[in-house]
Structure 1
Amino acid sequence: MNNSEQRTAPLYEALLEFRKRRVVPFDVPGHKRGRGNPELLDFLGEKCVGVDVNSMKMLDNLGHPVSVIRDAEELLADAFGASHAFMMVNGTTSAVQAMVLSVVREGDEILLPRNVHKSVINALVLCGGIPVYIPVRVDHKIGIATGMAIKDVEKAIREHPKAVAIFVNNPTYYGIASDLKGIVELAHGAGMKVLVDEAHGTHLYFGDNLPVSAMAAGGDLAAVSMHKSGGSLTQSSILLCGPSADAEYIRQIINLTQTTSASYLLMASLDLSRRNLALNGREAFDRVSQMAEYAREEINELGGYYAYGRELIDGESVFDFDVTKLSVFTQGIGLTGIEVYDLLRDEYDIQIEFGDIGNILAYISIGDRIQDIERLVGALEDIQRQYGRPKKELYCGEFIEPELVMTPKEAFYAEGEQLPLEETVGRISGEILMCYPPGIPILTPGERITEEIIAYIEYAREKGCSLQGTKDPDCRELRVLGQS
């Protein structure tokens, strides 16, 4: 990485120059630097609204960059150790879907863990790919899915030699990392591409004592949420390419679905965040790791809670652990994660990332302060004292692996009927149903519905999980297909 070059921010600098020129706008957007919408101008400020502009010669075009955006993408690639990088303004969802759509075609098999984000399944609905699920191990003590063990990956490759790719979470929402280097070696040896979801892994490129990044491990494509731990604006993301990727073809795939009116606010935030991480990222994420480890120690001293970390590493399904993820098992105080999540928000004005049946996740990154950590630990202690109940075994059915009967595309587009959930047992789902966050499907199109799945959905609803994905906004009905 050339630090002198990384000190520049070409797109941001072009926007500063544009602002100085006081160009008279007879193009879109129609608010005309905010003059047409005074409330918006007052809310966001002139500096922000004044650079909410359209593509033009001096500012380049994201769909076909030839100047400042191209330069900004080259700096991104350099900072992340990639052969090429794309700025993405439709979120990491669009980066994940571009990865899948660039490799998987109708009828192709792709190997993947069941605990992928819904964007992967939605990409298979679009392209007609066939998911082949590699078993995900489960840590029953804390109720989380872990990673893919190498021997399970080997078995899947052996049984599905025609699969075109393998999809890997690096890391999972909870911080679990599989043996990515080992998976890359196996997949490439079998002629398969490796697609890596690094929605929660921006910092892996700039931190020590963290799991290996996709590009360092030799992955072919990686979707990276810069806005999650990298400091850019929400909805901005990047797609990284390894040496084997055909970057111009991938740009064509991206342009199938990405907006032609790319936000310069989002792109400038990527440019500035890349510069910040390239120059200061190692120091910043070392501080993040220290804060997370401190919080882990403090929470574990409270008793009842379990803030887990590197002790989970077993060399197999937990090959490594991302210590910046402050994941806490809450059932030891008799409360589900979603109950603790709600209490933190409603009673203590603390918004954490998510709560599920057994755990909460507090996302710690470059903008956090030690006093905020102290406030979180104090709130958890107070919750335990005021709301804690005797420890009991709470139902945890999140890792049911449904039978896949049809491809996601076939099921999604098939004619079906709308039925109450309790009447769908034995039928095939035509929709996706999930708890959000984290957005991992409970059911995907093409999977058979069982009594166990219905019981888990209702339990999740009772505990306050946000169920999403179905045509019915209350997720009390499901579009289903025939018996087989």
Structure 2
Amino acid sequence: MNLLLQQKAPIFEALKRHKGNRVVPFDVPGHKGGRGNKELTEFLGENCMKVDVNSMKPLDNLCHPTSVIREAEQIAADAFGAEAAFFIVNGTTAAVQGMIMSVCKTGDKVIMPRNVHRSAINALVVCGAVPVYVNPGVNKELGIPLGMSLEEVKKAILENPEAKAILVNNPTYYGICSDLRGIVSFAHEHNVKVLVDEAHGTHFYFGENMPVSAMAAGADMAAVSMHKTGGSLTQSSFLLCGEGINPQHVRQVLNLTQTTSGSYLLLVSLDVARKNLSLNGKEIFAKTVEYAEYARQEINKLGGYYAFGNELIDYDCIFDFDPTKLSVHTRNVGLAGIEVYDLLRDEYGIQIEFGDISNFLAIISAGDRAMEIERLIASLSEIKRLYGKNDKSGMFDHEYINPEVVIAPQQAFYSDKKSLLIKKSVGQICGEFVMCYPPGIPILAPGERITEDIVNYILYAKEKGCLLTGTEDMAVNNINIVERV
């Protein structure tokens, strides 16, 4: 990384020049620097509204950058150790889909774990690639999916020599990492591209003593959510490319779906966040780890809860662990993770990232304060005392159910479908998604067999208060099933 180069922020500098030039706007957006929407300007601030601008020559164009955006991309590539970097303003969803659609076309096989984000399976619906699922390991005590075993990956590649790519989560939502270097080495020996969903791994590039990043491991492409742990605005991300990837082709693929009206608020947030992490990332993430480790230790002292960490590492399905993740198992206090989530929010004014059937996740960053960490710990202690149950009977004990894929996602999604009560759908083929959001990992994806176990899981998640999404029926009572295969 060139630290002298990293001190620059071309988009930020161009926007400051534009703001100082007092240009009269006869272009979009119609709020004209905020003058046309006073209430919004009062809420967001005049500075924000004045730099919410459209593409123009001095500010470059996201779809075909030749000046300040192009320079910012090159600096970002240097920061991440990539050959090329793309600014993404459609969320990491667009980056994940851009990766898959850049290397796969209709009928091509792509190997992936089933616990991928819905964006990956959406990409298959759009481009027609066919998934070959490697079931992740499962920790039955915690009820969570793990990483992919290197042996399972090797088996999948050898059994599917025509596969174009493999997609790897690095890390999972819970902080679990697979053997990324081992996967890259074996995949490349067999001419398989390695695509990495690093939505939760920005800090791997800038912190010390972190799990290996995708680019450092030699992966071909990586989707990095700067907004999750990197400090940029929500919906902003980077798509990174390694050697052997044609960046001009990737840009063409991205331009199929990414907006032609790229938000300069998102672009400048990426530019400034990258600069901040390049110059200060070691200190930022050292503080983050310190907070997370302290919280883990104190929560484990409460009894019942289990804030898990690197003690889980087995160099197989748990090859490494993200030390910034505060993932907490709750079933031993007689509460589902989503119940603890709701109690923290409604009774204690604490918003955590998500709660599922057995666990919750709190995102820790250097932006937190020690007193807030203490408040979280104290609140969990009180929740255990006031709401904990000794009787765990009737609690669902696993988060991941192995799917049976009957037909490809694209075929199922575009097939003739009919709506059935979820309770009466056992044995049918699913024609849409069902998932808890967050994290957005499908319980069911188009083309998969609906089983009794899956139906029970959906009904239990709904009963416990998980936000279920993906179905055409907004009440999630019915599900669309494929009429004819």
TM range (shorter): over 0.9
Map 1:358-397 → 2, pairs under 5 A: 358-392=358-392, 394-397=395-398
- Residues 307-331 of structure 1, C-alpha deviation per residue, up to 9 Å, x if partnerless? 0000000010000000100000011
Map 1:57-68 → 2, pairs under 5 A: 57-68=57-68
* 8 A contact 1:114–1:136 mirrored in 2: yes
Q: Counterparts of 1:391 and 1:156 in 2: how far apart (Å)?
A: 41
Match for residue 417 of structure 2? Answer: 416
Q: Counterparts of 1:163 and 1:138 in 2: how far apart (Å)?
A: 25
* 8 A contact 1:428–1:483 mirrored in 2: no
Q: Counterparts of 1:426 and 1:131 in 2: how far apart (Å)?
A: 21
Match for residue 43 of structure 1? Answer: 43
Matching residue's letter, 1:448: R
- Residues 85-131 of structure 1, C-alpha deviation per residue, up to 9 Å, x if partnerless? 00000000000000010011101111100100000000000011111
Secondary structure of the structure 2 residue equivalent to 1:429: coil
* 8 A contact 1:427–1:483 mirrored in 2: no
Secondary structure of the structure 2 residue equivalent to 1:405: coil
C-alpha deviation, 1:148, in angstroms: 0.5
Q: Counterparts of 1:44 and 1:139 in 2: how far apart (Å)?
A: 45
Matching residue's letter, 1:342: D
C-alpha deviation, 1:61, in angstroms: 0.5
**For the structure 1 residues 483 and 389, does the alpha-carbon distance in structure 2 shift closer, same or farther, using more than 3 Å as the test?**
farther
- Residues 160-181 of structure 1, C-alpha deviation per residue, up to 9 Å, x if partnerless? 1111100000000000000000
- Residues 349-388 of structure 1, C-alpha deviation per residue, up to 9 Å, x if partnerless? 0000000000010001231121111111111111111111
Task: Find out whether 1:181 has 2:214 as its counterpart.
Answer: no
Matching residue's letter, 2:234: T
Match for residue 116 of structure 1? Answer: 116
Match for residue 89 of structure 1? Answer: 89
Matching residue's letter, 1:425: V
Matching residue's letter, 1:465: C
Q: Which structure 1 residue ranges, 4+ long, deviate > 4 Å from structure 2?
A: none
- Residues 273-315 of structure 1, C-alpha deviation per residue, up to 9 Å, x if partnerless? 0000000001110111111001100000111100000000001
Secondary structure of the structure 1 residue equivalent to 2:267: helix
Task: Find out whether 1:441 has 2:446 as its counterpart.
Answer: no
Matching residue's letter, 1:74: Q
**For the structure 1 residues 395 and 483, does the alpha-carbon distance in structure 2 shift closer, same or farther, using more than 3 Å as the test?**
farther
Q: Counterparts of 2:45 and 2:9 in 1: how far apart (Å)?
A: 22
Match for residue 332 of structure 2? Answer: 332
* 8 A contact 2:117–2:442 mirrored in 1: yes
Q: Counterparts of 2:157 and 2:223 in 1: how far apart (Å)?
A: 23
Q: Counterparts of 1:96 and 1:65 in 2: how far apart (Å)?
A: 21
Match for residue 404 of structure 1? Answer: 405
Secondary structure of the structure 1 residue equivalent to 2:228: helix
Match for residue 245 of structure 1? Answer: 245
Match for residue 452 of structure 1? Answer: 453
C-alpha deviation, 1:453, in angstroms: 1.0
C-alpha deviation, 1:391, in angstroms: 4.8
* 8 A contact 1:204–1:211 mirrored in 2: yes
Q: Counterparts of 2:162 and 2:66 in 1: how far apart (Å)?
A: 38
TM-score by length of 1: 0.99
Match for residue 199 of structure 1? Answer: 199
Secondary structure of the structure 2 residue equivalent to 1:19: helix
* 8 A contact 1:429–1:478 mirrored in 2: yes
Q: Counterparts of 2:336 and 2:424 in 1: how far apart (Å)?
A: 28
Match for residue 472 of structure 2? Answer: 471
Number of residue pairs aligned between Structure 1 and Structure 2: 484
Q: Counterparts of 1:387 and 1:233 in 2: how far apart (Å)?
A: 36
- Residues 408-465 of structure 1, C-alpha deviation per residue, up to 9 Å, x if partnerless? 0000000111111122111111101101110000100001111111111001100111
* 8 A contact 2:358–2:398 mirrored in 1: no
Secondary structure of the structure 1 residue equivalent to 2:326: strand
Match for residue 159 of structure 1? Answer: 159
Q: Counterparts of 1:304 and 1:450 in 2: how far apart (Å)?
A: 32
Match for residue 347 of structure 2? Answer: 347
C-alpha deviation, 1:244, in angstroms: 1.1
Secondary structure of the structure 2 residue equivalent to 1:428: coil
C-alpha deviation, 1:397, in angstroms: 4.1
Secondary structure of the structure 1 residue equivalent to 2:223: strand
Match for residue 280 of structure 1? Answer: 280
- Identity across matched positions, percent: 62
Q: Counterparts of 2:399 and 2:291 in 1: how far apart (Å)?
A: 30
* 8 A contact 1:48–1:265 mirrored in 2: yes
Matching residue's letter, 1:141: E
Matching residue's letter, 1:73: E
C-alpha deviation, 1:398, in angstroms: 2.8
C-alpha deviation, 1:340, in angstroms: 0.2
Match for residue 169 of structure 1? Answer: 169
Q: Counterparts of 1:417 and 1:273 in 2: how far apart (Å)?
A: 47
TM-score by length of 2: 0.99
Match for residue 20 of structure 1? Answer: 20
Match for residue 429 of structure 1? Answer: 430
* 8 A contact 1:201–1:229 mirrored in 2: yes
Secondary structure of the structure 1 residue equivalent to 2:300: helix
Q: Counterparts of 2:305 and 2:397 in 1: how far apart (Å)?
A: 17
Unaligned segments of structure 2, at least 5 residues: none
- Residues 177-232 of structure 1, C-alpha deviation per residue, up to 9 Å, x if partnerless? 00000000011011000000000000000112211000000000000000000000
C-alpha deviation, 1:396, in angstroms: 2.8
C-alpha deviation, 1:395, in angstroms: 1.2
Match for residue 10 of structure 1? Answer: 10
Q: Counterparts of 2:455 and 2:196 in 1: how far apart (Å)?
A: 31
Q: Counterparts of 1:284 and 1:466 in 2: how far apart (Å)?
A: 32
Unaligned segments of structure 1, at least 5 residues: none
Q: Counterparts of 2:436 and 2:399 in 1: how far apart (Å)?
A: 10
* 8 A contact 1:426–1:483 mirrored in 2: no
Map 1:211-250 → 2, pairs under 5 A: 211-250=211-250
Secondary structure of the structure 1 residue equivalent to 2:131: strand
Matching residue's letter, 2:131: P
Q: Counterparts of 2:410 and 2:123 in 1: how far apart (Å)?
A: 9
Q: Counterparts of 2:187 and 2:369 in 1: how far apart (Å)?
A: 41
